[in-house]
Amino acid sequence: MTADDPYPLCQGADPDPTPVTFAVPPGTIDCHAHIFGPESRYPYSPRRGYTPPDASLQTFLNLHRTLGGIERAVLTQPSVYGTDNSCMLDAVDTMGDRFRAIAAVDEDISDKELEDLHARGVRGVRVNLVDKGGMSFDGIDAVRRFTQRIKDFGWHLEVLIHVHEFEDLYATLNSMAVDVCVGHLGYMKTSHGLDHPGFQEFLNLVRHGRCWVKLSGSYRITTSDLPPYSDVKPLAQALIEANEDRILWGTDWPHPVFKGTMPNDGPLMDQLGTWAPDEKVRKKILVDNPSALYGF
């Protein structure tokens, strides 16, 4: 691999996850994860920005058993596959009603194709404004128009953005015809601080109930090398306090295109026990909220 490799190989997840230290409630849903490969069967997009190692459905299920008996999951279409959702949907087909999916689509997709995606467990559309190859729409206005088409399905729009860099965050996301879900706690480095105007605007959006947030990818926003990422806690707790009925959690397994020290998934999930020490609130985040959003 060279420095100018357009498809650099990224590291894989820690192969030896440890159990979490709190009791995982029955019906827990991992709301953000990806399945990769094999590339011979599911070729990657030539527009991708990285190449992941294989991350199979069986390995993912083994992770869930080890963590503490996670029963359900929502797979999110990664940018490396563009709008070819085959790998993800085949995994959802295998798991039946235990899995849901968030797809990536082109704006000219037909109504029949949307209906077929719904029948296969898709409950939202992802627009990735961060990673190369993740944006298949001609700008935010096109995304806004498209949300009118998915409204009757009960779907939502999932976006990967940096909330501190997103212009007119509140007005733009609140103008969509459907609810919006933001990944990775807003994807703002903790060094910007809790009082950053962009994060405060994000909190305001969450308070008003049109926005859901995934407590995922904490290792992507921390300034620390290994968990527990104490600098993430104030941001996570501010989001929970803003609206505990709109908070979700996900592993972000297998942690693609992460260049730091790969964390173990047990300590990663253990952070939720610190962010939400109240078991009732934790059950909302792990079971009740995602059940409502994804239609389990």
Is cis: bond before 254, omega within 30 of 0?
A: yes
Q: How do residues 150-166 score in pLDDT, each as one tens digit? A: 999 999 999 999 999 99
Mean pLDDT computed over 163-192: 96
Nearest 5°: the CA angle 209, 213, 219 is: 160
DSSP per-residue codes, 232-281? THHHHHHHHHH-GGGEEE---BT-TT--SPPPPHHHHHHHHHHH--SHHH
Reported as a pLDDT band with limits 50, 70 and 90, residue 1 is: very low
Structure tokens at 25: 């409630």
Reported as a pLDDT band with limits 50, 70 and 90, residue 238 is: very high
Q: Is 252 a catalytic residue?
A: yes
DSSP code of residue 64: H
pLDDT at 173 over 90: yes
Mean pLDDT computed over 173-182: 97
pTM: 0.96
The answer as to CATH 3.20.20.140 being correct for domain 29-294 is yes
Closest by Cα among 234, 227, 226 to 192: 234
**Mean pLDDT of the chain, nearest integer:** 95
Closest by Cα among 238, 184, 189, 241 to 214: 184
Reported as a pLDDT band with limits 50, 70 and 90, residue 5 is: confident
Reported as a pLDDT band with limits 50, 70 and 90, residue 128 is: confident
- Would you state the pLDDT for residue 129? 79
Nearest 5°: the CA angle 74, 33, 22 is: 85
Cα 23 to Cα 237: distance, rounded to the nearest angstrom: 20
The size of the chain, in residues, is: 296
For the chain, domain boundaries: 29-294
pLDDT at 134 over 70: no
Which of the following is catalytic: 14, 252, 265, 270? Answer: 252
- How far apart, in Å, do the first and last CA atoms of the chain sit? 43
